[in-house]
A and B are shown apart, each in its own frame.
Chain A
Amino acid sequence: DVKVTQSSRYLVKRTGEKVFLECVQDMDHENMFWYRQDPGLGLRLIYFSYDVKMKEKGDIPEGYSVSREKKERFSLILESASTNQTSMYLCASSSARREQFFGPGTRLTVL
């Protein structure tokens, strides 16, 4: 079974803090994705990566950065957290042109 794990299920941070969200997949997938999910707005793509050290902006990259130093790990970084970044963050992975498999999500609250 494909397994995608995320470092935290729930996270509470203060405005201005630097936040790291980690994602690890165990299926040797080339592609990894970060989404945020908000009520009424659905899933929105923040960044994705199709190879180690490669990254591409998604639909809403502002305020975020990513890092992919190893194939199995994809990190999302909030350089200076703001209250409008309170959301559910979902990581996913896939092989080429195949379905995406999601992690359990991290519910981030920024106070």
Chain B
Amino acid sequence: QKEVEQDPGPLSVPEGAIVSLNCTYSNSAFQYFMWYRQYSRKGPELLMYTYSSGNKEDGRFTAQVDKSSKYISLFIRDSQPSDSATYLCAMMSWNAGNMLTFGGGTRLMVKP
């Protein structure tokens, strides 16, 4: 079993929909949680970074962490065709130095 599980998709939604992207993890030592967006043939771009349970909002994006359930989510409100990309979750634990453990990525397609 992988340490971080993420549904690969593709997830196809109409423009304007609310999108929910999720990751589950097994390592309770994970303390930092990140979401990256990766457009085709480009490097991953950091979207959100959080280290506490609860919600963190940035514009149309909300990151949610539930450490008790070992579950994180990224919500995208009013989704746009420009949000079409692969979304990667990533996690870091205190005792693994500076290493990130990545999910496999979910491909999102927002249709006009």
Task: Given A42-B105, A43-B88, A107-B41, answer yes or no on A101-B99 (Cβ-Cβ < 8 Å).
Answer: no
Q: Is B59 an interface residue (CB 8 A)?
A: no
Q: Complex formed: what's the CA distance from A50 to B49 in Å?
A: 21
- Stretch in A64-72, A74-82, A91-99 touching the partner: A91-99
Q: Complex formed: what's the CA distance from A31 to B66 in Å?
A: 28
Chain B hits for A104, CB < 8 A: 42-43
Range for the number of chain B residues in contact with chain A = 20 to 34
Task: Given A97-B32, A99-B32, A103-B43, answer yes or no on A45-B98 (Cβ-Cβ < 8 Å).
Answer: no
How close is B60's CB to chain A, nearest CB, in angstroms?
20
How close is B53's CB to chain A, nearest CB, in angstroms?
18
**Interface pair A50/B42, CB less than 8 Å apart:** no
Q: Complex formed: what's the CA distance from A101 to B46 in Å?
A: 7
Cβ < 8 Å to B, chain A residues 43-72? 43, 45, 48, 50
Return the contact of B43 from the options A31, A42, A96, A102 (Cβ within 8 A). Answer: A102
**Interface pair A50/B99, CB less than 8 Å apart:** no
Chain B hits for A101, CB < 8 A: 46
**Interface pair A100/B43, CB less than 8 Å apart:** no
**Interface pair B43/A99, CB less than 8 Å apart:** no
**Interface pair A42/B44, CB less than 8 Å apart:** no
Q: Is B100 an interface residue (CB 8 A)?
A: yes
Q: Can you list 19 pairs linking A and B with CB atoms under 8 Å apart?
A: A42-B102, A42-B104, A48-B98, A50-B97, A88-B41, A97-B32, A97-B92, A97-B94, A99-B46, A99-B49, A100-B34, A100-B46, A100-B98, A102-B36, A102-B43, A102-B45, A103-B43, A104-B43, A105-B43
Report which B residues bind A (CB closer than 8 A): 32, 34, 36, 41-46, 49, 88, 90, 92, 94, 97-100, 102-105
Please list the 5 inter-chain residue pairs (A to B) with the smallest Cβ-Cβ separation, ordered nearest first: A102-B43, A42-B104, A105-B43, A104-B43, A99-B49
